[in-house]
Amino acid sequence: MKFGKEFESQMVPEWQEVYINYNYLKSLLKDVQVCKLRKKQTDKQRSLKRRSTMYRAFSGLTHRNNNSPRCSTDIENQVIVVNYSPKQNGSPEGTYETMFLRSTEEGGEKELLFFSKLDDEFNKVNRFYMTKVEEVKKEATFLNKQMEALIAFRIKVNNNHGSEIESSAETNNLASHITASAAAVSASSPIGVRSSEDCKDLNEEKRMETKITAQTPLEILNHVKINTTSETPRSTIKSLLKVDRDKELNFRKHNLKSIEEQLKRVFIEFYQKLRLLKSYSFLNLTAMSKILKKYDKVTSRAASKAYLNMVDSSYIGNSDVVIRLGERVEATFIKHFSNSNRSNGMNILRLKAKRERHRTTFSLGWFTGCAIALIVALIVIIHARNIMRKEGLAQYMANMFPLYSLFGFIVLHMVMYAANLYFWRRYRVNYPFIFGYKQGTELGYREVFLLSAGLATLALASVVANLDMEMDDKTKAYSALTELLPLGLLTFLLLIAFCPFNIIYRSSRYFLLCCLFHCICAPLYKVTLPDFFLADQLTSQIQALRSIQFYICYYVWGDFKQRRNMCNRSDVYSIFTFIVATIPYWSRLFQCLRRFCEDRDSMHAYNGLKYFSTVAALLVRIAYSQRVGLGKSGQMWWMVALITSVIATIFNTFWDLVVDWGLLRRHSKNCWLRDKLILPHKSVYFAVMVLNILLRLAWLQTVLNFQVSFLHRETLIAIVASLEIIRRGIWNFFRLENEHLNNVGKYRAFNSVPLPFNYIENESRAK
């Protein structure tokens, strides 16, 4: 792999703009190379013209002075001079400027432009690196205080659960650990820059260690309280009822364990930051070296040595703060979180990237082939048995088709999500970071395709086994075993979803179930992006939720052996039709209200109003459909359904295009689009906007009561529901693209993990 592609593949996606623009610098070198080639061709032509005059010269009339003075070789070969400008106007770091000494030569303006852009790129990288290093140094100071509080908490817990002699020994032992921890994570200035700063740094560490050792655990805990966040229904209800929380520290082992786990996650995330900064420095320094070597090769000059000497003396080339902090974090983590087991501690800190497995690809191909074979078999059976003309077809479509369509909706949604994963990965959208997946546990598009193909195979096999249109003449019933196949398949899926064993991507299943539980319990949980993203997915699966409702009615109250049901005649079923269809929208509405109460952002209130308008339109459409089904007049209901649906569609479409996708910007660099785009072709965005509007109008089938002669009513309902799932799949890509670009604009590449302790000591008392 060429360095340019490797360099791009190893970038932190959110920091792409602050890496060296390697491809742009290469393009400038190509311009320099073209000028050099033109110059060589011109010199060659001139030499051919003068070759005839060379025959007139002979040695007797030619005289060369071999004793002429020569300039110094170093001065003649000097190409550039790098100057350093100190800090100005509050700039955190000075700037480097290169003076090109050969600008008067032919093509010199191209080389002058190259060094000018090279300076800009290097200064950009140097400033960004210094800013991020200052941030991690401040964060290391906070982590130092967290370790002080943790070890003091450990001492107190051991005192409460041990004897007096053991407690005093443990106190002395852990007090020395406090000093070691303080030295392990305290921030420091880079070594190798100035010796005076090193001495100052060491003195500061010694002073801090002395101060910490002088403090007893009780003194430390007097200025500390445990951070409590409203992330559970219990804490949320307490905050609403204004119940006073217990502010005293409970020195119990289970509290210590939870604090250790939380601080452990903080250390892991902090270590990942250090690794990314280390990689950022290494990649950019390597890119600088590569591009300068290319310059020397193209121009046959020797400028790289002088410039790289400047790079080595700069902050990014000379500072080793990140390396030192990384070593100290490793030492602290191994000592306090892995029982001094270095191998175990490093395996936890250095999260391994997920590896692609060949068996996944093989299984995907096998299940896909099985699904295609079953589809062909199903078509052949229908044609051979002439099922489309049998009397039992209408009964089958009214009872069995809604049961099996549930699996079709799930498979289609999974296929769309797998396609989203593929394109997110292709265009470097950092979806694992956005969703908050633990590194190495996120599913790739192959795994999701595999799950969808496996489910499609099971569902199609069940359909083929249950494709019976004839009733027994004696019993007037169908085979009970085959009639229970859909219920058995659904039960199997639920067992897999809630299976506690480590099979079939347990971490992903647990993550999905947690998000689903948060959606159901909204607004009792703090709203995160995975929660409201999943709730949005559920709003496109209304027909699937209705199928689950039909399952309960068909198998609990209905006579499934005769393939008939009395669900539509039940008032209870009709009431639950309204409730089930609006559950996802109510969940999103409550999530918006929760975010509005926490952030006081009016956009969340407007978003909640959007979902409320959708709920109103959906309820009116259901009421109109039920009146039409009962043969009652519904002209007024039709008008109300049309008006509410138009309002909800306009509101939702505007929100999709402007807020969720960030498009339709009048003063954007890209006409009516965003300033930043990921897809290379702008026409795709306009086509998708039109497609979104068209798919949003699928509700017209309900209001206008479209009827297609060659399609059964249940088939038409399934097609409309599938169109909504496809629209949601398209929405997913551009919604996450906009989120990713927002992260890129803020250089947000790390998850924020809350700290377990909060220091309440004021500055005056600290002094």
Say whether pLDDT at 216 is over 80. no
> Could you tell me the pLDDT band of residue 51, with boundaries at 50, 70 and 90?
low
Say whether pLDDT at 274 is over 80. yes
pLDDT at 729: 97
pLDDT at 408: 96
Q: Which residue has the higher pLDDT, 704 or 593?
A: 593
For the ranges 20-29, 98-107, 411-420, which has the lowest average pLDDT? 98-107
For the ranges 38-47, 221-230, 659-668, 725-734, which has the lowest average pLDDT? 38-47
> Could you tell me the pLDDT band of residue 165, with boundaries at 50, 70 and 90?
very low
pLDDT at 453: 97
Q: What percent of the chain has pLDDT over 70?
A: 82
Q: What percent of the chain has pLDDT over 90?
A: 46
3-state secondary structure at position 255 = helix
Dist. CA 99–CA 231, nearest whole Å: 58
> Could you tell me the pLDDT band of residue 198, with boundaries at 50, 70 and 90?
very low
Q: Residue 332 carries which side chain, given as an amino acid letter? A: T
For the ranges 79-83, 218-222, 387-391, 494-498, which has the lowest average pLDDT? 218-222
Look up the pTM and report it. 0.85
Q: What is the pLDDT of residues 656-698, one digit of tens each?
A: 999 999 999 888 899 899 999 999 999 999 999 999 999 998 8
Say whether pLDDT at 235 is over 90. no
Q: Residue 337 carries which side chain, given as an amino acid letter? A: F
pLDDT at 161: 63
Q: What is the pLDDT of residues 584-634, one digit of tens each?
A: 999 999 999 999 998 999 999 999 999 999 999 999 999 988 888 777 777
pLDDT at 562: 81
> Could you tell me the pLDDT band of residue 324, with boundaries at 50, 70 and 90?
very high
Dist. CA 183–CA 208, nearest whole Å: 8
Dist. CA 415–CA 395, nearest whole Å: 30
For the ranges 57-71, 302-316, 338-352, which has the lowest average pLDDT? 57-71
8-state DSSP, 92 = S
Dist. CA 185–CA 187, nearest whole Å: 6
Q: Which residue has the higher pLDDT, 65 or 382?
A: 382
> Could you tell me the pLDDT band of residue 49, with boundaries at 50, 70 and 90?
low
Q: Residue 586 carries which side chain, given as an amino acid letter? A: W
Q: Give Rg (Cα) of the chain.
A: 35
Nearest to 127 by CA among 295, 286, 280: 280
Are 259 and 150 in contact, with CB atoms under 8 Å apart? yes
3-state secondary structure at position 100 = strand
Q: Average pLDDT of 731-756?
A: 89
Nearest to 207 by CA among 190, 183, 185: 183
**How far does Cα 89 stand from its chain's mean position?**
36
Dist. CA 245–CA 231, nearest whole Å: 14
Q: Which residue has the higher pLDDT, 764 or 215?
A: 215
Dist. CA 316–CA 123, nearest whole Å: 10
> Could you tell me the pLDDT band of residue 191, with boundaries at 50, 70 and 90?
very low
The per-residue pLDDT of the chain, averaged, comes to 83
pLDDT at 228: 64
> Could you tell me the pLDDT band of residue 192, with boundaries at 50, 70 and 90?
very low
Are 13 and 739 in contact, with CB atoms under 8 Å apart? no
Q: Look-up: residue for tokens 């370790």?
A: 147
| Cα–Cα separations (whole angstroms), residue 211 to 179, 204, 559, 725, 758 | 9, 11, 79, 62, 19
Query: How far is the first Cα of the chain from the last one, in angstroms, to the nearest whole number?
Result: 57
Q: What is the pLDDT of residues 754-764, one digit of tens each?
A: 888 887 754 44
For the ranges 189-198, 257-266, 355-364, 403-412, which has the lowest average pLDDT? 189-198
pLDDT at 654: 96
pLDDT at 182: 44
Say whether pLDDT at 427 is over 90. yes
> Could you tell me the pLDDT band of residue 202, with boundaries at 50, 70 and 90?
very low
Are 233 and 210 in contact, with CB atoms under 8 Å apart? no
> Could you tell me the pLDDT band of residue 237, with boundaries at 50, 70 and 90?
confident
pLDDT at 512: 95
pLDDT at 190: 36
Dist. CA 122–CA 252, nearest whole Å: 52
Listing DSSP states for 709-766 in one string gives TTS-HHHHHHHHHHHHHHHHHHHHHHHHHHHHHHHHHTT--S-----SEEE---HHHH
